[in-house]
Amino acid sequence: MNLWQIIKMAFGALGSNKTRASLTLLAIVVGVFAVISASTAVRVIDNYFQNTMTLMGSDVINITTRPTVMTGHDQSHARRQPITFRHYEQLREMSELARAISPEVNLSSKRIYQGNSNTEPNVTVWGGNEHSLANNAYDIEEGRNFTRDDIEHARPYAIIGADIRSDLFSGSDPAGKRIRIDGQHYTVIGVVESKGSAFGQSLDNFVLLPYSRLASVYGRDHNINLQIRAPSVTLINETVDEATGLLRVIRQVPPDRGNDFEIETNESLRGIFDDFTGILYLFGFVVGGIALLGAGIGVMNIMLVSVTERTREIGIRKAVGANRKNITIQFMTEAIIVCQLGGLIGMFLGIAAGNILVVIMGTTFVLPVLSIVAGIAGMTLIGMIFGVYPAWKAARLDPIESLRFE
């Protein structure tokens, strides 16, 4: 008997008892739905974190005294010596690997004035150089970036975020206009393309000034961050090692002490949420998996009933020459088909339900390929596990006894 015939027989058996088959199917659908919708939803949340944590280019290293994302009450970094412009200049001289080093000075948030209008006093004013935009994954939309000359001569130029443009220059072209911060005038030379927001905070509500200009207005003793671009993504670890070594020398960290600064990459920042999404994943899999277990038990139960009811049929098949293997395969196939059918429907519904979050969180559609493959394989396995006992029971029946069965 070929496989096609076996499958046809299985479908025939399922079709002969439609209520029973559809209820069994429904149980499997719900079980698979639970697993797949939960894992899809977690993937969507994971995606959201990953997207929002991609604050820098993937080949960029951030060096700071305060970790970007802090967990717990550890305050030890509060007493660290600041990173200064001198450290930046020394590192720029000494580093062999680093490309495009930029300093980042953050002032407290300020009010920006233009003509008679002004913003709320919550605009981030920061200083940097010609590499700052690229290192922070910002693109110029209009106008131009700083040049090396602008930085060296500490020119009073400003590059503004998309929010500032909409707040102060509704409609008109900002390039060449003058803005005021703390009574100082700056000429707008560029506008940055919008990056949206992360965790409810706008990423476009800022003004970027040449760090040299900022230092001459606000002084040189700020605690700054450094951003370093590695020659390529593959050399990022080497660049991290070099920067760590050089900074320890520059900052005179004794050999027996740990680093008194944090080195962050996109990878390390993304990793922060791994624990959280890991727990969600686990929860989804456990809860969904247990629902699936319940469904599997249902399949087994109904297969056992089916074997009992079809005792005579089994007897006849055996009497005309079917061996144990044939009978086992017949019933296993039936179980696997129910599981696969239910699995496919459940998967489809689960992916749809999980992606409802996409609409809410505004991220991209997720197709959990791994879960789909695992689902198909898993459903076959469940069909086999919960089908094997009934099939074995059917195959073991004595043909004479079964033919006598009423």
Whole-angstrom distance, CA of residue 202 vs CA of residue 262: 24
**Backbone φ/ψ region at 198: left (φ over 0), alpha (ψ -120 to 50), beta:** beta
From the CB of 3, what's the least distance to other proteins, in Å?
28
Query: What are 185's strand-pairing partners?
Result: 180
- Comparison of 218 and 389: residue with beta carbon closer to other proteins: 389
Q: Which of 106, 26, 15 is nearest to 294 (CA)?
A: 26
Q: Are 188 and 175 in contact (CB under 8 A)?
A: yes
Distance in Å, CB of 39 to other proteins, minimum: 11
Residue found under tokens 């006598």: 404
Q: Of 38 and 158, which has the nearer Cβ to other proteins? A: 38
**Which run of H or of E encompasses 160?**
strand 157-160
Q: Would you tell me how many other CB atoms lie within 10 Å of the CB of residue 296?
A: 22
**295 vs 347 by CB, closer to other proteins:** 295
Rg (CA), the chain: 33
User: What is the closest distance, in whole angstroms, from the C-beta atom of residue 402 to other proteins in the complex?
Assistant: 17
For residue 259 the two structure tokens come to 């680093």
Would you tell me which residues interact with other proteins (CB under 8 A)? 19-20, 23-24, 26-27, 30-31, 33-34, 38, 73, 75, 120-122, 200, 284, 287-288, 290-291, 293-295, 297-298, 300-302, 304-305
- Least distance in Å: CB of 312 to other proteins? 12
d(CA 94, CA 346): 59
SS3 126: strand
CA distance 316 to 36: 42
Nearest to 10 by CA among 297, 341, 321: 341
Measure the CA–CA gap between 183 and 160, rounded to whole angstroms: 17
Side-chain half-sphere CA neighbours of 268 within 13 A: 16
Q: How far is the CB of 304 from other proteins (least distance, A)?
A: 7
The least distance separating other proteins from the CB of residue 17, rounded to whole angstroms, comes to: 9
Comparing CB distances to other proteins, the nearer of 160 and 300 is 300
Whole-angstrom distance, CA of residue 115 vs CA of residue 55:
32
Nearer of residues 5 and 22 to other proteins, judged by Cβ: 22
Structure tokens at 144: 């131009």
We find the least distance from the C-beta atom of residue 34 to other proteins, in angstroms, to be 5
Looking at the Cβ atoms of 47 and 132, the one nearer to other proteins is: 47
Q: Which of residues 74 and 149 has its CB atom nearest to other proteins in the complex?
A: 74
Q: Which is nearer to other proteins, 73 or 325 (CB)?
A: 73
For residue 276, give Cα distances in angstroms to 45, 54, 149, 272, 273. 10, 17, 46, 8, 5
Minimum gap (Å) between residue 154 Cβ and other proteins? 29
The CA distance from 136 to 239, in Å, is 17
- Residue 73 beta carbon to other proteins: minimum distance, rounded to whole angstroms: 7
The smaller minimum CB distance to other proteins, of residues 128 and 390, is found at 390
